[in-house]
Structures are given as C-alpha cells and as structure tokens.
Structure 1
C-alpha cells in the first residue's frame, strides 16, 4: 500500500495482472481490510468479473463529488453544485450507478423542462452530473462509461442583443433609488457579473492603482479590472460612509450583502417607471461590452475585461465594431501603392514578378488582363 494525497492506495500483482486502485480512506487499518478483500476476490477469480459500479450508489457519487471536487471551484460554483445536487438526488434516489442510463437522464431533463427551467440551467445540472461521472471513471475507478456523454445538450438562446441607449440609461438612473443608482452606474463602467458585484469587498479595491480584484469568478480565475473616473467616484463616495458592520462595498442598510432577489425587484420597479422593456441586470454587463465594441476596443481586451474563458463567447460583440475591423485592414495601405511596388520590382529585376505586374500596373491603377 502507499499514500497519495492523504489517501491509501493498493498496488497488487496477481497472475501477471496489475491492480492499482484507491482504497478511499486515510485510515490505515481500514485500508488494510479493504486491500485484503481485494486480494481475496483476486484469488477467487471474481474481482474482474464483478460489475463495476454495481456496488456504488448515486448518493455516494454526489457526496464524494461535493467533498473532493467542489472545494476546488469558486464559491458561486459551489452554490450552483449544491442546488443541482439537491434536484439530482431527489430524482435518482438510492439507485446504483450502473443502473443510470442515458434514457433515464433524458427523462430527468424532460421533467426539468416541464417545471419551467431554462435550457442554460438544465445544461449546468448536466455539466455537474457529467463531471461527477468522469471523476468516477478516471480517478475513482468506479465506472467505465459516462452515461451523460450520450445525452444531447439543451439548445440555449441566451444571446440577447439588448443594451441600454444613453437616453434609456439617463431615464433608468432618474427612476432608481440612490443605492440602486450607484450599482447600475458602477456596473455600466465595469461590466461585472451580478455575483461579482454583490460580493465585492473593500480589501479587493486598490484606489491608488485604480483597480479592483475579482476573486470569485465564474471560470475560477481571478481578474483585475481597471477603474475609470466614474467608477472611482462611486467608490470614493461610498468610502466616506463605510459601514463598520460590513466589508462589502455595495451592502444593504443593515450592512449585509444585498439579496439578489431584492436587487432584481428594485430593478424591475425602476425600469417599469422608466418605460424600459425586456431588460435584466445582465443587460448592464452587455451594455458595457457593447459600448466598448462601438468605441473600437478589440475583442481580446473586451474578453479579458468580461472574464470570458473562451474568446468565442466574446464573438457576439464582433458585429458592433465594424470600424475597428476596417482599421485593421486599412493599416495595410499605409505608405503603399501598386505603382510604387511595380517600379521597385522592375528595378530589382524580379523576372516573372515584373512581367506579371508589367502589363497590369499603370498610374491609373489596374487594367483588365488580356489572357
């Protein structure tokens, strides 16, 4: 036996075959007992014939996943896992892993759709389930096949092209309470996700460098966001009335973290007063990115500011920046014209190149070729 990451592993050779597996315990005495059982099954010839996954249940999979994998991801992702696992456990119950089929998983998806869940939410639950099965295959050696891999994803349509015009922004701010106005304005100039904004604490604010550090991100990778004057002014005004009861930048009157449902409710009231339709809190982030694209900021920078893991996610803003794309090709024309190129080619005597340009290049430009 040997230890790996605090857990005992067995490494046994029998009749020329090697068995190496986790004993799933840090207790040496228990590990020895499990190893002895494995050796007995090898001698009796039943170890390799035993159906893998039959002695493991779905609750065991979820518990192990939440205990070993969940702590490695962001707090928001952990909360998402906890919510998903609650619904998954309710549906699959005490079933053994080998009995979970693609058909059963598809049935779960149908039931989730029937209660009104959005495709993106269902896909998140499927992603967690698939991750758990993959770990059970690759690291825990509980299974050989991931049943989720044979189930199609839900088609998502989350790309709302809805952003605020300047007039709508003014109207929305005029109809918002002071605390909501600060949040709206700050997000229009930083593009934070809702959870990122509501979780922002003062120790992540660097006024001297004019940046904020976002630790709890969707993709698990921290990112630093530069602050413009508008965002800084909001922070400075809030810094003058910092609550001794809270380290949170945008907090409630009680000094606690603002509940996202209360934020959503306040935004609904404000936008109804302003006469703005089909707009959500996420639209503030979308407005931030769209305005950057309109101003000619390249997609790579927008991707970094938004914290997108894959720049493909940022491609949705490409059609907002045609001028910056034109700049990209116009730069090739700087100090360049075909007449000059033709003369340089003739002087350098580049044979075939000179001949091919010779009958086409004129001071007036291109003429049709005769062949």
Structure 2
C-alpha cells in the first residue's frame, strides 16, 4: 500500500492568498470561492461539503450566482413599468450596464477567463478598479465613469440583496478612492512548463510550449487550423505566418511566427480527421478552451500559474529583448497600447522602459 498522500481534488491555493479555494464545475458552470482556511485537510473537508451543497442547489434550480445573471436580472427590471426610477434614469442605467458587461468581458478575456463562468463573488474591488482604469484608457470622461459606477453599485447592491455576495465591492472601491490595483503576474519557469507539457495527452503536449512561443490567447491558439499557417515549405523565421481568426472580438490578425514556434509546429503530427493543429485522440477531438483541462494538470504537476500567464511571460520577455511596446501590443492583440503599458511596464527597469517606448514601431515588421 502506498504511503504517498493523495492529492486533494477541487481545491487550490492562489499565489496571492493564504487561504485554500474551491474550484468545481457543475452542469457546465465553473464555481470558484474561498474556503477561508489555511489547512489543506480542513479545506478538503469543507470543499466536499460545499460541493454537495452546490449540487443540491443545482438540482433544486436555485443555483445561478453568476455575475452575468445578476446583470441581466437588473437590466430586465429596468424595463418593468413598476420600476421606481424615471424613464431617463432607466435609460442611463441600461447604457452603463452594457458598458459594464463589455468592459468586464474584455477584462475576463485578457486574464484568460470567460465572463460566462464569472461568479458574482469574483467581482471584487480590484475588478471594479480595473473597470475604471479601462474606461479611463478608452478616453471616457470622469462624469461618465461616475455614472457607470452608480449603475455598477446598484447592480452589486441588487446582487447583494439576493444573498449572492456579502459586501458591495463598488462601495469599497469608492471608499478607498481611485486607486488602481493590478493583479500580480506569475511567470512560469521553464521546468514547470516542461512538466505541464509532459502531462498533457497527444498534441496538447505541445500546447503550453506553443503559447510560450507565440503569446497567443488560449482559445485563439486551441482553435488554430493548419490551413491558417503559411510558409512551412520554407520553415525559417520571417517566412512563416499564422492567421488568427478566433480572437477577442473576432478581429482577425496575422502574426509572423518566431523560430521557436515554427520548430514546434514541425514536430506535431497531423490528423486525417481534424483540421486543427492541437487535435488529440480522445473523444473530444480538440478543445475549444483547454484552460480547465490544463488547470487540472497544473494541480497535478505543481504548475503555479495559469495557461494565460504564458502570454504575459511572452510579452515581458519580448520587451526585455528590445521589442517596442507598440510591437508587443500589435503582436499579442491588445486593443490599446495603454493596456500593454499598464500590465507590463511595471516589470521593466527605468532604462528598459525608456527603450521600449522610444520608437513608435521599433523595428516592427
């Protein structure tokens, strides 16, 4: 009988938290919440009880604590004739709610998550701060942002009244002032990438390394077909290009592949039945979004990051190599260079910052 401790399921400890967290998918919806304990054994026990509770609520039709559901509920209420708000106020709130949904969706995409999986409890004060900074970066006036925050506060108040959250994060944000709080970026080590890759089946074995070599988002690379790769007949850097179609906002973009990415492609066997590069022999064929799959592998291999952090790693490394901030922005597909600057310049020295910002394209091809 093995003395090796069995790894607990459905619990993890984020790098920026002292507590263990629960992560479980029920009926296609991922639930994440803190277990409020620093003990692994206690966390495993609490997780089991909480999963049973969540499944019971799901069976009773009571479980739908997603942020998007709360937003849609308030939006629909604004259409009701019984609403106490004036017609003009309802119109203004609905406009703000649409902007909140769009901005939070962009934020979720940029951190490698899906707004459909975003639970109300995950909309924290730092997320509200991120919303404000993104609205600022898009050139919106302070008065418009304040109107948006009023609607946002009423949205979270409504969600709080339903018992989905304990505190209103917008009120907490307004108390602490306009202070930006960006999440720390965890840069995976080469050794951890190798271990994660080795755990994945079939062609997914190459997936983490390809993300590391391209800086692509998980979904846009998972759904990349061979037909959108050109130039492999002469597989050298400068000749091979990838067309990315399953991008954020469906904005097609082309990138010139670096030699590291080209060499990976040359190792991947092709399928007679699947058009995708990262196919495999399981019943799934390919994964539209393998984030959850690799999260499980990460728990097994000690990969203390997310697949999306490989995108951050790529961007920071290219900036340190000498790519301009504009070149990185265009290559990884940020809608604005301001987003690239906010996320990555904080990891550079003063000299590096001056260099990457000095020239508009800095050799961009």
TM-score (norm 1): 0.48
TM-score (norm 2): 0.49
- Structure whose alpha-carbon radius of gyration is higher: 1
